[in-house]
Structure 1
Amino acid sequence: MATADKVFVNGKIYCIEPRNKCVEAVAIKDGKYLAVGTEKEMEDFVSSVTEVVDLEGKTVLPGFHDMHTHAINGAYKQIFECSLPEGQGITLDLILNVIREYVKDHPDFKWITGGNWPFHLLSQLHKELLDQIDSTRPIILIDFSTHNAWVNSKTLEIAGIDSTTPDPEGGQIIKDDQGEPTGVLLENALNLIQPHIPERKKEDIYKAGEWLSEYLNSFGITAIKDPAVYEELLDVYVSLAKRNKLHFRLATHLLWKCDYGNAIPYEQQIELVYNRDKYKHDRINTNYAKMFLDGVPAFKTGAFLEPYAGDKKENYDWKKMLLVDPEELKEDLVKLDKEGVTVKMHATGDAAVRIGLDAIQAAREQNGYSGLLHEIAHNGWVHREDIVRFKKLHAVAEFSPMFWYPSVFHKQKETILGKERADRTYPIRSIQQTGANVVRGSDWPIVPTPDPWVALETMVTRQNPYIDSSEILNPDEKLKLEEAIELFTINAAKTMSLEHVAGSIETGKFADMIVIDRDLFNISSKDISNVKVLETLVEGEVVYESKGEKSLEA
């Protein structure tokens, strides 16, 4: 009989598979579960060298997975950029005060960068507001979607943008009645300023990476997908892994023919995908790519089958909203599928979702089922006829960010899309009920935090967790708690090809687990967002321990 390195007893340990299985003890050896069951059953694995930990009745779950987090970039923004306030009731005055203080506190910064300004302020934004704060240094503030920017006059001057500058393809320079740029740049217009922004210091990016693991582990996150990775980020991830500082499992979606957020030419992106193997590590899987099919509804750049509210149908062509040619997309999917590369496609509108599914169908028809679980990311709106296609095509529906509840953002969508269509947002349960694989991503730092507990609560309630309100958004799409947890655990593990080693607490799997401060199945669903992680373990080793709580003792 093997001897365990650690045994955890006296707990409520939710195994996830099979569903609703709960045990009181586990034994761990060499980073994997040696046994799962009763405290009595664990006695056979205990010797004088075994560390026995009393869970004191606390709840244990498998480590959570975040299937859409721009992790290093989020960490960098948190540490080195001006982070604007987010949430309900954010005003322009509040944002300007934050910018003003940040500029004053960083006199040595040659460029002021940051962001996450909300869409509802768009009509109020102007370069002169930023000029009044600082007209000598360029200021660039990205919106919550990362697709648009608000800049001052100095930035426009450096980029050579003036009244004569034409809109780039797929983008717009907002101009006033006199034809002068206002300082707001939409979609691909960001590419006009991108080449002028100084490169981030390598040492700062590494500092962000060093900070990242503990931050993610503090939320119980033990595996992630970074959905927009390029060589600079790969170098950091690999460095962390080689120094045993990457305390989570990682899948890197390498950019493929993408313009957003970087100035890397297509040729370099494609070359990196084909040279991806040199970055592999035990905890890093690089067999993934990322494409953008459309923009975002808030700025009327999401591709919808029907026109936006107030737009005339005879003047509307949804194909012009796409960022890719549908036939080229099919060719690329077929090619990448054959190469063993799993593709994640950004698609917010139902037209974009449809062409993404069409491309996956083309790959299945030409290559057969390769076993690769290609993904549609976001899925804000999915046409009813396409709901069943996810299951049929072995396609993954990844839902992010977490605004599947009534909020100021949803009110904006009602204005842009019309209330009936807006209220059909995020059909999580509809797709889940077909038997398709459904997962969740945070999209941090598009949202202010990768904290999964707010997202879990709102997936179950479809209510705003920050206010006392009975209003529910699309209640038919609520999930049961046990269903919702699977999106964060075993379902996500499948999309990372880790279901045999992670995603549930089972004998032979890696001991990636979290200890939390309350029993999810015996509290109000409105209390889920208050969950605190006490400990996070990866392969049986404690990688995070809450400083505010009494630690578990052997």
Structure 2
Amino acid sequence: MGTLWYNGTFFTMTEEGETVSALYVQDGRIYDLGNKEHLEKRYADVIERRHDLSGAFVYPGFVDSHLHIIGHGEKLIRLDLSEVSQAEEMRSLLERKYNQSSGDQWIFGEGWNENNFPDRKIFHRLELDEISPNKPMFLTRVCRHAALVNTKALEMAGITKETKDPTGGVIVRDDHGEPTGFLLDTAADLVKEKIPKVTDEYVNRALRVAVNDLLRVGLVGGHTEDLHYYGGFKQTFDQFMNVIDGKQTKFRAHLLVHHEAIDEMENENYDKGSITPFIELGAVKIFSDGALGGRTAYLRSPYTDDPSTSGVAIHTEESLQKLVREARNKNRPVAIHTIGDGALDMALTALEKYPVTEGRDRLIHVQVVDDTLIERMKKLSVILDLQPRFVASDFPWVMERLGEERIKHSFAWKTLLENGLHCAGGSDAPIEPVNPLLGIHAAITRTRIGENHEGYLPEQKLTPFEAVQLFTTGSAYAIEKENERGKIAKGYVADFTILDQNLFTVTPDEILTTNVVMTVVDNTIMYEK
């Protein structure tokens, strides 16, 4: 028995402009497509349910190719600082949070960004001490590659003037060598290790809140990296199995596995691939550098606005190659976080030395490139994870970081596509808003919301079709599911993002007023407006 979906415009995404007006779905797969009269006649004896879409617009289900689902849930249940635009506002929110806390619990904040402040202020630990003198405070920067902590947190971690910078991290210090409370990349891990372990209930709550929110904004799935930070592989994976049970909750979660979680995963007798129809284990995740905001992205030459640093390489060239080699010994692809051109160079060298034999590697972010790096990527079996919203968030200040020459080859989504590189689209939530319509808008306009100009590096604008491809066919290709996901075609999964506007004909700013009518996963309505 099956379902007839009709009275809508269904974009197949097989070719630009190709549509049908009805679908027949059976056993969670698209069985046939065409028009209502044809399908009604052909399947009259087996149609069990009918969905009249009242003229809505149906797309293959949008999938976020790179995010941190539990981190997104934390942002929703913790103090969210991502929209703060004044240092005083941030102080006020922290004071309120402190006054609402009890006992000796930690004070957490998520997503602050000094580039949103007129004075670009970064709080000193002594200022945080004024807010929270006796409770440890840990405030994650928007990039998640830096954190602010107060003196209590530093003391608990044993960080003093004499503490050496850890490999792949920086303890920012004042002119006297004293820690300021600003910790970059692995330096923040010294404090994270002292944070009380999360409970199953906490992870479950953050994950459940996040998945419900992703469905609300039209996402049917996401490629996420969470399995190393919440009590280890098993504790986190068990909650994915509990929340995404395939009955009450259907959502297609493709889980990247941090290289430090691989051994535990194997000890639990799990391997890459599908665990359930909705949960898959994917590539080995490796970080090669940080982010441009905190100047920890690793560049081949110094930052234009701070010539004293070229950023932070999380691993040496030798250790990065060793991690890739170990993944190959287990027949696994890798997913390498690489933002700076120095990090990309290192990553490509490792992939060239140890080419993938099974599956596809992915390079995540790929924000600073040049023609030589592009030519090297074209010779490898790689998928590029792009985050279009980074353009809206990082410009114009990122031009100060990179300078006139490097910026010409940065955030170069159109150039990458024109060179035949396979690209997928994501948000990197909780770093950016998870709503895929915001990513599509940014890819098309290359502006911040409300700005009225031709766009940052306007030659890199994508067409509406290219932008939607990132979140449909692109995300499917990233995980070798291009023959069953990402299109509306026979044999493909019945996952749909149903909107009230045509993204291919509305003005770019009208994309921002588009509403999600339904989110359908496995022919099941998981969200309805």
TM-score (structure 1 length as normaliser): 0.88
* Structure 2 alignment gaps of length 5 or more: none
Contact 1:251 1:288 in 2 (8 A): no
* 2:437 aligned partner: 453
What displacement does 1:202 show? 1.7
1:425-504 alignment, distance < 5 Å: 425-447=410-432, 449-464=433-448, 466-504=449-487
C-alpha distance in 1, partners of 2:305/2:453? 30
C-alpha distance in 1, partners of 2:266/2:283? 8
Contact 1:457 1:525 in 2 (8 A): yes
Q: 1:456 to 1:93 in 2, by over 3 A?
A: same
* 1:419 aligned partner: 404
Moved over 4 A (4+): none
C-alpha distance in 2, partners of 1:180/1:333? 37
Per-residue displacement from partner, 1:247-287 (whole Å, max 9, x unpaired)? 2212211111xxxxxxxxx4x54443574339922322213
Corresponding position: 1:348 with 2:354: no
What displacement does 1:307 show? 2.1
1:189-200 alignment, distance < 5 Å: 189-200=187-198
1:66-215 alignment, distance < 5 Å: 66-79=64-77, 81-86=78-83, 90-108=85-103, 110-120=105-115, 123-215=121-213
What displacement does 1:518 show? 0.9
* Structure 1 alignment gaps of length 5 or more: 257-265, 547-554
Q: 1:109 to 1:460 in 2, by over 3 A?
A: farther
What displacement does 1:216 show? 0.9
Q: 1:245 to 1:290 in 2, by over 3 A?
A: farther
Aligned counterpart in structure 2 of residue 61 of structure 1, from 46, 59, 62: 59
What displacement does 1:95 show? 0.9
What is the letter of the counterpart of residue 249 of structure 1?
A: R
Does the residue aligned with 2:391 lie in a helix, a strand or coil? coil
Does the residue aligned with 2:512 lie in a helix, a strand or coil? helix
Equivalent pairs counted in the alignment come to 518
Q: 1:131 to 1:17 in 2, by over 3 A?
A: same
* 1:229 aligned partner: 227
Per-residue displacement from partner, 1:17-63 (whole Å, max 9, x unpaired)? 13321011111111111111112221121348522222121100010
* 1:333 aligned partner: 324
TM-score (structure 2 length as normaliser): 0.92
Q: 1:329 to 1:151 in 2, by over 3 A?
A: closer
Q: 1:476 to 1:247 in 2, by over 3 A?
A: same
Contact 2:172 2:179 in 1 (8 A): yes
Corresponding position: 1:524 with 2:507: yes
C-alpha distance in 1, partners of 2:422/2:19? 23
What is the letter of the counterpart of residue 411 of structure 1?
A: P
Contact 1:379 1:399 in 2 (8 A): yes
Contact 1:240 1:246 in 2 (8 A): yes
Corresponding position: 1:397 with 2:394: no
What displacement does 1:370 show? 2.7
C-alpha distance in 1, partners of 2:213/2:409? 34
C-alpha distance in 2, partners of 1:140/1:276? 33
What displacement does 1:418 show? 1.5
Q: 1:310 to 1:76 in 2, by over 3 A?
A: closer
Corresponding position: 1:42 with 2:39: yes
* 1:303 aligned partner: 298
C-alpha distance in 2, partners of 1:115/1:293? 23
What is the letter of the counterpart of residue 131 of structure 2?
A: I
Aligned counterpart in structure 2 of residue 280 of structure 1, from 275, 279, 282: 275
Does the residue aligned with 1:252 lie in a helix, a strand or coil? strand
What displacement does 1:321 show? 3.6
Corresponding position: 1:251 with 2:293: no
C-alpha distance in 1, partners of 2:365/2:473? 19
Instruction: State which drifts further: 325-334 or 483-492.
Output: 325-334
* 1:263 aligned partner: none
What is the letter of the counterpart of residue 144 of structure 1?
A: V
Does the residue aligned with 1:459 lie in a helix, a strand or coil? helix
1:10-29 alignment, distance < 5 Å: 10-29=7-26
What is the letter of the counterpart of residue 254 of structure 2?
A: A
C-alpha distance in 2, partners of 1:286/1:213? 17
C-alpha distance in 2, partners of 1:48/1:330? 55
Per-residue displacement from partner, 1:469-526 (whole Å, max 9, x unpaired)? 2141111111111111111001211112222221111111110012111111221022
C-alpha distance in 1, partners of 2:375/2:226? 28
C-alpha distance in 1, partners of 2:450/2:429? 22
What displacement does 1:67 show? 0.9
Q: 1:126 to 1:237 in 2, by over 3 A?
A: same
Percent same amino acid at aligned positions? 27
Contact 1:110 1:138 in 2 (8 A): yes
What is the letter of the counterpart of residue 343 of structure 1?
A: V
Q: 1:33 to 1:109 in 2, by over 3 A?
A: farther
What is the letter of the counterpart of residue 95 of structure 1?
A: M
C-alpha distance in 2, partners of 1:46/1:129? 71
What is the letter of the counterpart of residue 344 of structure 2?
A: V
What displacement does 1:243 show? 6.1
Per-residue displacement from partner, 1:344-400 (whole Å, max 9, x unpaired)? 100001121122222222233xxxx63511011011111221223333212111112
RMSD in angstroms over aligned alpha carbons? 2.3
Q: 1:220 to 1:287 in 2, by over 3 A?
A: same
Aligned counterpart in structure 2 of residue 543 of structure 1, from 520, 526, 529: 526
C-alpha distance in 2, partners of 1:176/1:358? 36
* 2:241 aligned partner: 238
What is the letter of the counterpart of residue 380 of structure 1?
A: Q
What displacement does 1:540 show? 0.7
Q: 1:436 to 1:468 in 2, by over 3 A?
A: closer
Q: 1:401 to 1:184 in 2, by over 3 A?
A: farther
Contact 1:337 1:372 in 2 (8 A): no
C-alpha distance in 2, partners of 1:58/1:513? 12
Contact 1:344 1:377 in 2 (8 A): yes
Q: 1:323 to 1:173 in 2, by over 3 A?
A: closer
C-alpha distance in 2, partners of 1:10/1:101? 51
